[in-house]
Amino acid sequence: MSKSGVQTRLGAGRRDFLRLSGLAILAGTGAVEALGAGEQSDGGIQPVKESEQKQSKIVVGQVKVMPESGKLEANHKLLMDVLGEIAQKQPAVDVAITSEGFLDGYVSKHEKVRREDMVQYAIDPQTSPYIKSAAEWAKRNNAWLIYGCTRKEREHVYNTALIFDRTGRLVGWYDKLHLLQHDRKYDPGMNLNVYDSEFGLFGVTICADRRWPETIRTMALKGARVIFNPTYGMHNELNLCMMRTRAYESELLIVFTHPLQALITDPEGQVLLNDENPDHRYVITEIDLSAADVRRASESGHLRHRRRMSTNCKVSLRRKLLSDGMEFLEKRMRNSAVQRCLFFSVSSESLR
């Protein structure tokens, strides 16, 4: 209960993307993972097996304040103030979420900020004092924290959501996949991982990634019952319809966190929370993740009734692809990081 692009540049276009996804389904995981080896760190630890004991009800705290563009120190202080208020109001909070690019105030949105300028606002999670402070908060309050920032890795800069567990350990990160307009100042992400926790598997996406059904569906097929979505852009009626649809079609909960809106939708496509009150610096809500289990187990469940190829069909088509299709695949994907990412993500789960 509440208490308080431009389509992605897939190179070959959407039709070819679907064709590549189909090839990925046939190829299987082992044949394609080598294509992306060494491109980028994988966003942290991807679980092999879900926790046996799952906590169903969790309390989420959504940070709903507007950060200042380019003011990292001021924004981090603001976050620590709000997180302090959340912990005081609800000491048992399980997950706290910021909006997209909170630490730097989503500075990429300004036309005057060029791609080469982004490194000035990027942090290295291993050395940043802001990240150390965030980790200490997570540990002190026994809470997960999802923190939006600009992250640098070698010569690359990413639009990132850092993921801290209850011990303050940085267990991974999610880098935004779909780069629209000003987001092309970043490098595209390369993973659609899910993460294990006391409340089961969860996923993270950033802002525009929610527009593509396969983004959410891939994480759902990997077992995620909830998606945390830090965002900064669109938060209108269209977005409300989209979030209801994404939650319904993949039978999970979505926690959409914007500086001006806290929105939560459930597996039935219903709105559990829609707070746009500008006076609220945060919103605390308890959600029940077992709703995803109930929906998926129902006779009309979407995921359980997905059409799948027979084993014999998979084997024969995979052999055909491996014999004469990989050369085509490599050529089409060599210069597109986003294609590779979605290709890798679809391959493992679509063969189930």
CATH number of this structure's domain 40-306:
3.60.110.10
329 or 127: which leads in pLDDT: 127
Beta strands in the chain (DSSP E): 57-63, 95-97, 144-153, 156-164, 170-175, 194-195, 202-204, 226-230, 253-258, 261-265, 271-275, 282-288
- For the stretch 126-168, pLDDT in tens is 999 999 999 999 999 999 999 999 999 888 999 999 999 999 9
Q: What is the mean pLDDT of residues 53-60?
A: 87
Nearest to 25 by CA among 294, 292, 344: 344
For the cut 50, the answer to whether the pLDDT of residue 3 exceeds it is: no
- Which residue would you say has higher pLDDT here, 329 or 340? 329
Is 89:284 a contact under the CB 8 Å cutoff?
Answer: yes
Q: Look at residue 47 and tell me whether its pLDDT is greater than 50.
A: no
DSSP secondary structure string, 175-205?
E-----GGGGGSPPP----EE--TT--EEE-
Flag whether the pTM goes above 0.75: yes
Query: Can you give the pLDDT at residue 325?
Result: 57
What is the tens place of the pLDDT at every residue in 275-300?
999 999 999 999 999 999 999 998 88
**Using one digit for the tens of pLDDT, what is the confidence trace for 191-244?**
889 999 999 999 999 988 888 888 899 999 999 999 999 999 878 889 899 999
Task: Report whether 131 contacts 181 (CB < 8 A).
Answer: no
Confidence (pLDDT) at 34: 25
Strands in 156-164's sheet, in edge-to-edge order, are 170-175, 156-164, 144-153, 95-97, 57-63, 282-288
pLDDT for the residue 317:
64
Residue pointed to by tokens 């319809």: 241
The angle that helices 311-324 and 13-27 make with each other, rounded to 10 degrees, is 110
Distance of CA 292 to the CA centre of its chain: 18
Q: Please report, for the chain, the start and end positions of each structural domain, with discontinuous segments joined by +.
A: 40-306, 309-352
